[in-house]
């Protein structure tokens, strides 16, 4: 009778000491691991090395997800993962159990704490700067549209600061904002036109508003044209000509030329 001898298998212990990188690439954990493995059948020349590599790889994978200041958390997670039996992928080796001890040198912890504080402080300063810049941009854009916003804010927060000098400097502030703000040329253009427009006769103002409204309408700006008419409804009153008067709205004194509608 032929007897079939069953392979009793191989088993043994593993021990490894290594380092693992943390989320901060230049800070590493010091790790010591031990465990027990078993080769379920023939086919692997060095099952101990296979089991040890598995423990190292899994530890390093989890370490890369942890700050060097979270050594205790890393140790718990690795031991929870490797504490029970598992078959190693694509091998004839199984890991019965493994236990790791994670340590960080006190000097490394001190440097990491210092760097973390500096990084948090820099992040806070950057966020405050971004918030201040956003507020400044918003206030600048509002000031471009209406310089009286500055006066309103002063009245709200520091009414005692309102003096004649304050009122005199407001136009200068508006011009300075216009000079450096996005679209500055258009803002400056609007200020120049406003200065020129203010001294024109009433019929000249009405003529210019009508022409601007017509031009805006031709280029699809009907809504803006209507807003322009509404804005100047009181400043440019409509005058109905009496019988016998020329109904041409062209201002006679406008550069000495008569307006001919084409």
Q: Could you tell me if 31 and 82 are in contact, meaning their C-beta atoms sit under 8 angstroms apart?
A: no
pLDDT at 18: 96
Tokens of 68: 């060097």
Strand 93-103 and strand 28-39: the pairing is antiparallel
The reported pTM is 0.49
Ranking 133-137, 156-160, 216-220, 233-237 by mean pLDDT, the lowest is: 233-237
Cα distance between residue 18 and residue 205, in whole Å? 86
Residue 164 has pLDDT above 60, yes or no: yes
Helices and strands (H and E) in the chain: how many: 8, 4
Where are the extended beta strands (E) located within the chain?
Answer: 10-21, 28-39, 86-87, 93-103
CA 71, chain centre distance (Å): 32
Give the DSSP letter of residue 40: -
């Amino acid at each position: 009778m032929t007897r079939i001898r069953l392979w009793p298998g191989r088993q043994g212990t593993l021990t490894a000491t290594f380092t693992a990188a943390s989320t901060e690439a230049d800070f590493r954990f010091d790790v010591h691991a031990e465990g027990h493995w078993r080769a379920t059948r023939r086919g692997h020349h060095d099952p101990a090395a296979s089991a040890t590599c598995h423990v190292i790889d899994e530890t390093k994978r989890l370490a890369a997800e942890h700050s060097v200041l979270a050594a205790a958390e890393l140790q718990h997670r690795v031991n929870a993962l490797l504490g029970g039996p598992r078959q190693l992928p694509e091998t004839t080796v199984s890991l019965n159990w493994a236990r790791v001890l994670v340590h960080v040198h006190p000097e490394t912890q001190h440097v990491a704490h210092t760097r973390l504080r500096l990084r948090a402080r820099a992040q806070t300063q950057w966020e405050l700067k971004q918030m201040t810049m956003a507020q400044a941009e918003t206030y600048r854009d509002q000031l471009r549209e209406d310089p009286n916003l500055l006066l309103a804010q002063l009245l709200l927060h520091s009414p005692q600061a309102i003096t004649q000098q304050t009122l005199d400097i407001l136009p200068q502030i508006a011009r300075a904002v216009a000079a450096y703000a996005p679209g500055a040329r258009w803002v400056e253009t609007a200020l120049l036109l406003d200065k020129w427009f203010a001294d024109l006769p009433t019929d000249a103002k009405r003529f210019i508003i009508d022409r601007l409204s017509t031009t805006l309408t031709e280029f699809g700006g009907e809504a803006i044209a209507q807003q322009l008419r509404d804005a100047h409804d009181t400043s440019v009153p409509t005058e109905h000509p009496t019988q016998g008067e020329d109904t041409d709205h062209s201002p006679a004194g406008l550069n000495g030329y008569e307006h001919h509608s084409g």
